[in-house]
Every structure is written in structure tokens, then in C-alpha cells.
Amino acid sequence: MSINEKNISTRLYFVAGGMFLFALLIIIKLVNIQFVDGDKYRKLAKKNTIKNSVIPSSRGNIYADEGSLLATSVPKYDIRFDAVTVTSERFKEHLPALSKELSEMFGRPASYYQNKFRKARANKNRYMLVARDLGYSEYIKVKSFPLFNLGPYRGGVIVEQRTVRVHPIGKIGERTVGNEIRNKPGVYEVGLEGAFDSLLRGKNGKRLKQKIAKGQWKPVYDENEIEPQDGLDIMTTLNVNIQDIAHHALLKQMEHYEAEHGTVIVMEVETGEIKAVSNLGKTQNGKYYEKLNYAVGESHEPGSTFKVMALMAALEDKVIDTSTVIDTKKGWKRFHGRTIYDSNQRGYGEISAAKCLEVSSNIGLATIIDEGYSEDPQKFIDRLESFEIADSLVLGIPILGEGIPMIPEPGHPKWSKNALPSMAYGYNLRLTPLQTLTFYNAIANNGVMVKPRFINEVQAWNEPILVFKKEIINPQICSLETILQIREILKNTVVRGTGKKLYSPYFSMAGKTGTAQTEYWMSDWKENKRYVSSFAGYFPAENPKYSCIVVIHKPSTKKGYYGADVSGPVFKRIAQKIFTDSPLLAKINNVDEEDILITNDYETYYANAQKEMSNVPNVLGMAGMDAVSLLENIGLKVKIIGNGAVSKQSIGSGKKITRGEQIILYLS
């Protein structure tokens, strides 16, 4: 054998030996994978090809008292496009037709879509947004368009589905109904959504899925599979019609007085059911929206609406009676080194205790309470506590964030010699609007204080599983004699007192105006005075059906700030509209529907609503919600297009009414 042949043989042996060693190493590795690390790799393979998929539960609905939806969950779809996966031939063939369909559906020119898709193709964009927030029917339509109908791989269409919470009545009452925390999907802490989140959200399910292709998974049988449990439905006490009335009445006044924020609450007297809550705050651009839940969460000095509580304490403790003469001087009086003024700078002189409340005399109430309780101030505090008004007593409603009342007593940091006279007219203490209304509601309810209630039932598949009934806080806050005396004074306050601007001969109301200075400790207060205007009361005065409170913070002092001017008209407008919508209230007031007179522009609506009409009225220029109520009251079905006042009506005025006929109102 030659030297070259030996070298070749050596190389062959070397290569063969190397291959043998390599094969041996592979065998060893395979054995190691199979028997040593087998469990590890099997688990890894299973992890990459099998996963537990969450099956989201459906969140329960929130309903108004008559069954209208206040909050529900609906699917929304985003359509995107993978410009890489589609072949060039297919892209060129279908792009013109696809662009045309998108143009007809969304209103942009077809050329816009052609350019957009071509740019995505050039940039190899695999996630181009085509349309966002589509409903189910829109999604089905888009999915059927040319190219998209070929599916995700051949047609490049990407569909992303998510569930969103919607409010069919819009932003009205949003802080009461509740919503998701911004930038925290699925997290609810506000309003009824937050209060009953554990019931509404249900429980997510679990399903095992196996990977069958890129991005595709199929369900596989799993004995541990958990089906989702849908959330429960909440049946609230809120009334859509009253909520709409309250919202727009407050909004109108807030805009006119350029106020900072305000709230309205309407409560059913006998049951404590909350029928409406509106909370409006001002934005930087001067618009109003449901900013915070002022009704529940904001405790503030109530001002003159607290005088009712002070006088009631004095009457119940027999410190005075309604005819006791009080010297209110000439509009000012010194108390323990501090001067108190009345809004009437000339003063009221000597008047009865009842008159002190009717005209809202600060001096009168301060005199009654200071002289009656200065020797034993704790007696006054104890009486307030018997009314369920105290520093530690909250209503305990389910909505989070209830403001804490502050009623100082001897030994409290806020207590001083001037505490009693200050408290007598609503300063040096704090209450929320809902806490104040609960007290007024007890007056209307002959002394029975009921807990404000937002929920009637919790349901599953239309079957009640939790029922919330009337809850009595105090069966009798004071004697019936005192209640009847206070009710007479509150009625007279509207007839001839500080609320006389609100008086109407067509239906009765009772209540108390309130005007309180706020932020008076600020250095610029004299140059930039700020007030809280309020009105609390109930209607009808004789047989109360609803109680209501209106609180408006920091109205423009250039336009007015007294409770009778700012908040009172909101109360009256709400009462009037509820009154005309309810024949029962008309009967309670012994009002003949034919005798209601027309007194001003918006009272025309109330008068007309009570009459038997035979012809279609002219509603041009009328606010949309007023026109709807009027026309529906006379038997027409109303469809509205747009927002604002009525600019056109499809059935002309004077035409004979055909009950059930549809009329279209165009709003501008």
C-alpha cells in the first residue's frame, strides 16, 4: 500500500470514527431527553401547545325602575389589516372594490382607502387600523367586503373583539350609575357599578385549548372545564323621566348662573326610593358634565336649610312655641362679641318664631337657640342626635364615598361661645345634600325617617334573588305636633316667605331656601364673594309624594346668589313637570285640569299638558324634552332627530290628533 493510500485510509477511519462518536453523542442525548429530562420537555411542549383560556363572564345589566336600561355590556369590534400576508395579485384585484365598499360605509373617498392600503403594503404594516368600535351588524358587513371575505390568511383581515360598558341614556346620571375607572378596564369603583360590582361582574370560566396552527387554537375536552357565571342584574329605583327632568332643569340654571358645580336629588317620600340624582361640574371650557358625586360625597355648611332643624329642636324641647315673639332688631345683633346680620338690612323687628323661619332671619334663629340652650348646649346637640343628625351618624348607603357629617358639641375643636348661634343658621357644621334631604323627607313623611334607597331588586334571569325593602332609620324623629307646625311654616315659606317667588296657585310646594357663604376664610373673599345656594322641600305640600333638594355652588354673584333665585327655580321646574306627568298629584291637589292657567312660557307646557286636546299643538321653539312630554301626553308617538329646541315638526299644528300616530321632531 502506497503512502497516499495509507493517508486516505487514515482520513477515512478518522471521519468514520468522528461520525461514530457524533452518532453516539446523539444517541446519548436522545436517551437523556427521553429518560432524564423527558418530563421537563414534555411539560414545555404542553405549555407551548396547550393553554387554559379564560371565558369572560357577561356583566349584569342595570335597569331603571320601569325597566329601561341604564347600563349594559355590548361587544365592539376593531378591524385591522395585515398587508404582508396577502399576495400581490389578490391585493391588486380586490383593492378597488374594497375601497369602494369602505367609502360607502364610512363616508371617506375611495381614493383615501386605496392610498392607505398601498402605503401599508409598501411599509409592510401588519396591523393597519381600518375601523374602530363597530357594532355587531357593522362588523358582519365589513367582514363580507371584497378581500376581507377571504379570511385572515388569504384576505389579511384581523378582527379584535372586546366588551364595552354602555349607558343608553348617555351621560345623564353617570356618577350615580357608575362607570369604569379611566385607564383601568373592568375596574368599577364609582356609583352603583362600584357598590354592587361583586354581584354584577359574575365569575369567569376556564377552558383548555390546543394550538393547531399559527395563532389558531381549538377547544379540547377537559373534565376540569369551568363554565362562566354571568353577573346578576340590578333593578334600581331611578326613574328615567324624572332623571331627565332633574338633569336638564339643573343644567339650565347652572349655565345661566355660570356656577361651579351643583346637584339635585329627588326622593319618594314614603319609601325613600331615590328617583333621580344629577351632579354637574364645570369644565375649563365652561361646559358641564357629571364630574363628581356631590350629592353623596360633598359635606358642606348647609346655611339656612339647617334653620328648620334648629327651630324644630326648640319647638320639641318647648324652648319656644311658634307664636313666641323674637326681637330681630334692625338687621344686626351682637352675639358673644360677634355681629350677625340679616339679609334684610332694615331688619324685621319683633316677629314670631314661625315668621323668623319664613323670612329666614339669621338673628331670629340665633336668638332662639342661644337663649334657649346657652346654659345647657349639650341639650341642643342631644336633640339633633334624636333627629338622627350627629357627627358620627351616616346614612350607610351602598354607594362609596359618603361624606361624614360634622356637628360639633362642647369639647369639639370647632366649639366656642359662638357655636350655638352659628349653628342656628347653618354654619360651623357640615352635612351632605343627601343627609339634609333625608331629614326634610322625614318631615314630609310625618316624622318617619326612611333610609335613602337606590336598589329595588337583584335579579338572575328575571327572577328576584335579593329584594330591598323600605328601611326605617327612625320611626318618629319628633312629636307629630312639632312636625305639623314645621310643615305649616314650610308651606308658608313658599306662599309668603323667602320662597314666595316660587309660589304657584296651580299646585302646592313646601320648603326652605338656603344661602350660605363659602370659602369666607379666603383672603380675597370681600373682593370675590362666593356662595352656596340651596332649596330643600317637598310637593305637594298637603300630601307629599316627592322630596327634593337643589344645591348650587358658587353662582356668578353678578347674576344672583340667593337660594330663592338660583336653586328654587330648579326645584319648581322639577316639581311642575313631575306634577303634570302624574294625574295622581293633580287629584291630591284638588286641581281641575281645565282650570290650570297659562302664566308664563314654560307654564304654558304644564297647562297644555293637563288639557284634553283634539288638535296637534305648535311646539316650534319648545325645548325637545318639553315637546316630547306634551305630545306623548296627548297620545302621539314621538321620534326626535337632533338636540336642542324644536325647529320643525312633521305633523303641522292644527291637524286633528290620531292617537298612536308618529310625529317627528327635528331639533336644532
- Tens of pLDDT, residue by residue over 446-499, are 999 999 999 999 999 889 999 999 999 999 999 999 999 999 999 999 999 999
For 513, half-sphere exposure in the C-beta direction (CA atoms, 13 angstrom radius) is 31
Nearest to 302 by CA among 565, 521, 513: 513
Which of 108-122, 217-231, 318-332, 504-518 shows the lowest per-residue confidence on average (mean pLDDT)? 217-231
What value does the mean pLDDT take over residues 49-53?
67
Residues paired with 467 in a beta bridge:
457
Contact 341, 354 (CB under 8 A): no
463 and 406 inside one domain: yes
pLDDT beyond 80 at 34: no
Residue 402 lies in a domain: yes
| Least trusted range by pLDDT, from 55-69, 334-348, 584-598 | 584-598
The confidence band for 304, taking pLDDT boundaries of 50, 70 and 90, is very high
Backbone dihedral angles phi then psi of residue 449, each to the nearest 5 degrees: -95, 120
The separation between CA 82 and the C-alpha centre of its own chain, rounded to angstroms, equals 41
299 in a domain, yes or no? yes
Percent of the chain with pLDDT over 90: 60
Average pLDDT over residues 355-382: 97
Residues 336 and 400 in one domain: yes
**Domain boundary at 567, 583, 599, which?**
583
pTM: 0.77
Top pLDDT among 573 and 642 is at: 573
Burial class (CB in 10 A: 0-12, 13-18, 19+), 30: exposed
Cell numbers describing residue 303: 346655611
Cell 350660605, residue? 516
Residue in the structure block whose three cell numbers are 342631644: 382
Q: Which domain, by its residues, includes 374?
A: 241-583
Highest mean pLDDT among 122-136, 165-179, 423-437: 423-437
412, part of any domain = yes
Average pLDDT estimate for 141-148: 94
The pLDDT confidence band at residue 315, using thresholds 50, 70 and 90, is: very high
Report the CATH number that the domain containing residue 290 is assigned in CATH: 3.40.710.10
Per-residue pLDDT of 560-610, as tens digits, reads: 999 999 999 999 999 999 987 654 444 444 444 433 333 444 445 445 544
Q: Is residue 591 part of a domain?
A: no
Give yes or no for a contact between 180 and 59, defined as CB atoms under 8 angstroms apart.
no
Specify whether 220 is located in the same domain as 178.
yes
Q: Which of 583, 604, 620 is the last residue of a domain?
A: 583
Coil vs helix vs strand at 161? strand
Half-sphere exposure of 83 (CA within 13 A, CB side): 19
> Do 260 and 225 share a domain, yes or no?
no
pLDDT (0 to 100) of residue 47? 56
Query: In the prediction, which pLDDT does 451 show?
Result: 97
Structure confidence at residue 169 (pLDDT)? 86
pLDDT at 609: 46
The pLDDT-based confidence of 21 (bands split at 50, 70, 90) is confident
Whether residue 599 lies inside any domain: the answer is no
CATH number, position 655: 3.30.10.20
Average pLDDT of span 292-309: 96
User: Per-residue pLDDT for 1 more than 60?
Assistant: no
Domain count within the chain: 4
Same domain, 467 and 506: yes
Do residue 231 and residue 282 come from a single domain?
A: no
Which of 539, 566, 583 is at the close of a domain?
583
Mean pLDDT of the chain: 86
More confident residue, 10 or 296: 296
Residues 297 and 396 in one domain: yes
d(CA 603, CA 227): 57
CA distance 404 to 300: 10
Q: Among 167, 190, 166, 196, which residue's Cα sits nearest to residue 178?
A: 190
In a domain, 607, yes or no: no
Of 89, 93, 158, 173, give the one whose Cα is nearest residue 128.
Answer: 158
CA–CA separation, 250 and 570 (whole Å):
6
Look up the CATH number of the domain holding residue 142.
Answer: 3.90.1310.10
437 and 326 in one domain? Answer: yes
211 and 356 fall within a common domain: no
Is residue 218 located within the same domain as residue 254?
Answer: no
Residue 301 lies in a domain: yes
27 and 169 together in one domain: no
Query: Is 593 a domain residue?
Result: no
Q: In the block, which residue shows the cell 337643589?
A: 550
Same-domain status, 363 and 417: yes
Q: How far apart are CA 228 and CA 209, in angstroms?
A: 16
